[in-house]
Amino acid sequence: MSAPVLSIRNLNIDYIGAEANFRAVKDVSFDIAPGEFFGLAGESGCGKSTIAFAVSRLHRPPALIRTGSEILVDGRDVLELDKDALRRFRWREVAMVFQSAMNSLNPVLTIEAQFYDVLHTHKGMSREAARERAAELLKLVDIPPDRLAAYPHQCSGGMRQRIVIAICLALNPKLLIMDEPTTALDVVVQREILQRIDVLRKRLGFAVLFITHDLGLMVQVSDRIGIMLEGELVEVNDAQTIYRSPQHDYTKRLWASMPKLHGDQIRPEAGA
Amino acid sequence: MTLFKQLLGNKKALVGLTILVAIILIAIFAPLLTEYSPTRRVGRPHQPPSWDHWLGTTRLGHDVFSRLVHGARVSLAVGFGAGLMITIVGTVLGIIAGYKGGVIDEVINFFTNMVLVVPNLPLLLVIAAFVGQAGPVVIALILGFTSWAWGVRVTRSETLSIRQRDYVKSAEMLGEPSWRIMALEIFPNLISIVGINFIGSVIFAVIAEATLGFLGLGDPNTVSWGIMLFNAQNASALSVGAWWDLLSPCFALALLGLGLALLNFAIDEVANPRLRTGGMLKSWSRMVLLGEGKL
Amino acid sequence: MSENQPILALDNVSKIFGRANQPIYAARSVSFGLHAGRTLALVGESGSGKTTAARLIMREYHPDEGRLLFRGEPLGKASAKAIKAYRASVQMVFQDPFSSLNPAHTIRYHLERPLRLHQRQLGRAERRAAAEALLERVKLDPKLIMGKFPHELSGGQRQRISIARALAVNPQVIVADEPTSMLDVSVRLGILNLLNDMKKQDNLALLYITHDIATARFVAEDIMVMYAGQIVEWGAMDSVLDNPQHPYTRLLLAAVPDPDRRFDAAQPGELEQIETIRRQAALPQKDIQQVGENHFIRPIPDMVIG
């Protein structure tokens, strides 16, 4: 592919313990092309969230990214950035939507204040300029600008999630990392949000690293999918290829564990 | 129980327990450790520490070491006795208020707030002064009756969060009687809070007793660390250079407090695994320094 | 009791919160029956009323309108003895494997307690044997599991123990409230298959509550779709899923991630349409319309059938 927007090479991440270390990510390498929707799937403990945190360097001890790992965003190694460069890098190049993003809005600040926080810190915008930009961004996610004066608790869960996405897009990042962004939301709301992301992606051109355990959803929305098992990336391919002709045993087992909504049901003996 | 096993593996717990057990043993075997009576004049006034009198003598010629180890009995008895009372009352009321809710909760809260609002120490002073030279038993009782309120609050709020859990609902659906649910489903999950409450109460009671004794409100015919402080103060021990007279009970109190506090930290750590960093942080820092990785 | 009479039934039950002038119906005129040997799936989004229905059945809530019928008899004025019998007959399997077992007690305690309460005739040794038999039924090895504490076991193992605990009192009805939503994908089918097997072996009536409609199709013969406290569509699983009639059901089914269908972009006006459907579906509907052999809906005004 032409210069990937995210390139992960030989990523090894350990969790240091007093007696023994736990290797959460084992020699993982993959690329994401500009504007691509890449899904990272796996069950709990497989390391997908660990990777997501590592890209923005959000880890705390006892996590340790081993020397020899490379995380390149637009060619620059994120792991080599100093504090200032890192601050400029976050939000501008890479933005992250967390699993509990609905709770990552400050409950004592209005929506407008939350936007101002990001816009002022990273672009030095004045209050008026920030308000205008915020209204623009809210329009992107179909929220009326009068919501700027509201507090997070006055908005529904789905709306809060959309607001977080709007804030993430404030600085036009090249990569949006979403860690289980719709897990706590109902299917109808989930579909609305993903539809919006799709539209925005085509319009603004950012790539998405989408992490979830919902495999059906993943196949529907992703261009390419990576399957993780216990820290290893066991299979990477186009979404449809992974779904219809999986190569790895684990991937096959995963599909065999998914009841179907229509058509032939999977065999009941599967997954015993 | 696993909690105890984990505690024994914790360094802070071991040190704290050692100090505590040592002090308790010294108190129990006090008469065997010294040939002197704590209330009899056995030497010349204000003698510095010597082979005869390991911690010297007081102004009245009493052996300080003897008073210290005998006084330990009273201080510990009042401390643990009152501590036990405070904890039992606080825990029982807290669990009942938290689990039963409704009117019972309101009533208990009302009384708790009443007791909570009254400032503890002035109340103690007033009662002790009223009773006159309050012996250790009276002091323990006074402490027990006036200091349980905070424990109720803490226990109640923890109970409130536990009673929402599915395993409590499951027990209710099974038809378990209320008392059983409170005692056997909820209480076992409160043990670390109760333990911390207990140790905190003991520390409080020991210091409170020392305070009352120091202020002269205790019974001068008994020996406790507080009374020793009172006597030392009256004798202007420091000004005349008899530092052993005043500093002995001071250090004893500080040491007991240290032991109990360490135990408290340890219980907290064991109960809340997120607080357990210890060895992990050391290994981690070493690896970062060696350039083996970064955040 | 006739062959077709449900073991447990809700008859026009409503649960109301809020104030008299501003009532909020967590459940509105809910009626359904649970039959021996059959699984009924209750699906809906959060806030739809499915959890309320579960709590009404488990008697955590009491109906404000309507009544609960157990073996044909209303439960409202039942004697203490009848309530005890009810407790032993209706058991629940909870959603969260991490909070459904008491961390302070061993698995042995969790299994022997219900036996002690509801099968007093058993002696100590018999009780021990019964508890071990329960573990074997849920495919766990008693020698390995009995003495352990919950935190030493995986989520899947804990759910199996929850099921064993529910079976300890020989119930007739099991309410499974999202029993697999907090488990890993590869473990879910095992638990669902287990529930299915237990149902067949003991001829249980199973109420399976979920937001994951695909799993509902896997385990249940009948389905109810709830929205805003009302059951909007219900009937045989295949009929409802292949030919949904209520606009809300259609909306819900279209939104379920289906790997066989490519994700479709939003149509113009789609958002407003969704809002309208939600608004209309939330209005109280009294009428019931039959749209198939075992397929009913609560039609919203101006609806087109077919």
The first and second tokens of residue C231, run together, are: 């059951």
- Judged by DSSP in three states, A263 sits in coil
Of residues B221 and C102, the one with the higher pLDDT is C102
Contact B283 A65 (CB under 8 A): no
Q: Looking at residues B157-162, what average pLDDT do you find?
A: 94
Q: Looking at residues C280-302, what average pLDDT do you find?
A: 86
Q: What is the pLDDT of residues B197-253, one digit of tens each?
A: 999 999 999 998 898 888 888 788 888 898 899 988 888 888 888 888 888 899 999
Contact C218 A259 (CB under 8 A): yes
pLDDT the model gives residue A1: 61
Of residues A156 and C241, the one with the higher pLDDT is C241
List the single range of A9-18, B264-273, C152-161 with lowest mean pLDDT. B264-273
Number of domains in chain A: 1
Which residues make Cβ contacts (< 8 Å) with residue B8, sequence separation at least 6? Answer: B14
Of residues B159 and B235, the one with the higher pLDDT is B159
Which residues in A lie closer than 8 A to residue B280 (C-beta atoms)?
16-18, 61-62
Statement: residue C273 has pLDDT above 70: yes
In sign, the C-alpha dihedral spanning C83, C84, C86, C91 is: positive
Going by pLDDT thresholds of 50, 70 and 90, the confidence category of residue A271 is very low
Whether A205 maps to a domain, the answer reads yes
Q: Looking at residues A254-260, what average pLDDT do you find?
A: 88
Please say whether the beta carbons of A185 and A155 come within 8 A.
no
Statement: residue C116 has pLDDT above 60: yes
The first and second tokens of residue B155, run together, are: 């226990």
Q: What interface predicted TM-score (ipTM) does this complex get?
A: 0.87
User: What integer best gives the mean pLDDT of chain B?
Assistant: 86
Enumerate neighbours of B (3 or more CB pairs within 8 A).
A, C
Of residues B248 and B128, the one with the higher pLDDT is B248
User: What integer best gives the mean pLDDT of chain C?
Assistant: 89
CATH topology of domain B2-289: MetI-like fold (1.10.3720)
Which residues make Cβ contacts (< 8 Å) with residue B18, sequence separation at least 6? Answer: B259
* DSSP string of B148-208, one letter each residue: -HHHHHHHHHHHHHHTTSHHHHHHHHHT--HHHIIIIIIGGGTHHHHHHHHHHHHHHHHHH
Contact C261 A220 (CB under 8 A): yes
The first and second tokens of residue C143, run together, are: 């020698």
Contact A270 C241 (CB under 8 A): no
- Counting one residue from chain A and one from chain C, the pairs whose CB atoms sit within 8 A come to 103
Which residues in A lie closer than 8 A to residue C185 (C-beta atoms)?
43, 213, 215, 254, 257-258
- What is the chain C residue with the closest CA to B162? C99
Give percent of chain A above pLDDT 70. 96
Q: Residue for token digits 């495919």?
A: C139
Statement: residue A27 has pLDDT above 50: yes
Contact B167 C84 (CB under 8 A): no
Contact A216 C258 (CB under 8 A): yes
CB of A108 within 8 Å of a chain C CB? The answer is no
A237: domain CATH number is 3.40.50.300
Nearest to C246, CA basis, from C208, C209, C283: C283
List the single range of A182-191, A258-267, B237-246, C77-86 with lowest mean pLDDT. A258-267
Statement: residue C192 has pLDDT above 90: yes
Contact B295 A62 (CB under 8 A): no
Q: Residue for token digits 């792991």?
A: A79
Statement: residue A17 has pLDDT above 50: yes
Statement: residue A245 has pLDDT above 70: yes
Contact A60 B279 (CB under 8 A): no
CB of B175 within 8 Å of a chain C CB? The answer is yes
Statement: residue B41 has pLDDT above 80: yes
Statement: residue B284 has pLDDT above 90: no
Whether A18 maps to a domain, the answer reads yes
Residue A72: which domain range?
A: 6-100+174-256
Statement: residue A270 has pLDDT above 50: no
Contact A198 C193 (CB under 8 A): no
Q: How many whole angstroms separate alpha carbon C213 and alpha carbon C234? A: 13
Q: What is the pLDDT of residues C35-66, one digit of tens each?
A: 999 999 999 988 888 999 999 999 888 899 99
Any bridge partners for residue A229, and if so which?
A232
Whether A225 maps to a domain, the answer reads yes
pLDDT the model gives residue C304: 54
Q: What is the pLDDT of residues C199-249, one digit of tens each?
A: 999 999 999 999 889 999 999 999 999 999 999 999 999 999 999 999 999
Contact C58 B173 (CB under 8 A): yes
Q: What is the pLDDT of residues C246-259, one digit of tens each?
A: 999 999 998 888 88
The shortest C-alpha distance from C30 to chain B (Å) reads 22
CATH number of C8-297, picked from 3.30.390.50, 3.40.50.300, 3.90.1640.30, 2.20.140.10: 3.40.50.300
Statement: residue C3 has pLDDT above 70: no
Under an 8 Å CB criterion, which residues of B touch A? Answer: 278-285, 287-288, 291-295
Q: Give long-range contacts, CB 8 A cutoff, 24+ apart: C195-203.
A: C195/C93, C195/C163, C195/C219, C196/A268, C196/C39, C198/C137, C198/C163, C198/C167, C198/C174, C199/C37, C199/C39, C199/C174, C200/C37, C202/C167, C202/C170, C203/C36, C203/C37
Going by pLDDT thresholds of 50, 70 and 90, the confidence category of residue A268 is low
Q: What is the pLDDT of residues A158-167, one digit of tens each?
A: 888 889 989 8
Q: What is the pLDDT of residues A57-111, one digit of tens each?
A: 888 888 889 988 999 998 888 888 888 888 888 878 899 888 776 677 888 999 9
Which residues in A lie closer than 8 A to residue B11 (C-beta atoms)?
none
Q: How many whole angstroms separate alpha carbon C20 and alpha carbon C176? A: 33
Statement: residue A211 has pLDDT above 90: yes
Of residues B127 and A197, the one with the higher pLDDT is A197
CB of B174 within 8 Å of a chain C CB? The answer is yes
Q: What is the pLDDT of residues A67-78, one digit of tens each?
A: 889 999 988 888
pLDDT the model gives residue B217: 81
Single-letter residue type at B42: V
Of residues C111 and A190, the one with the higher pLDDT is C111
Which residues in B lie closer than 8 A to residue C95 (C-beta atoms)?
166
Any bridge partners for residue C23, and if so which?
C18
The shortest C-alpha distance from A100 to chain B (Å) reads 20
Please say whether the beta carbons of A178 and A149 come within 8 A.
no
Q: Where are the domains of chain C?
A: 8-297
The shortest C-alpha distance from B294 to chain A (Å) reads 5
Statement: residue B43 has pLDDT above 70: yes
CB of C164 within 8 Å of a chain B CB? The answer is no
Of B282, B292, B295, the CB nearest to A67: B292
Which residues in C lie closer than 8 A to residue B189 (C-beta atoms)?
102-104
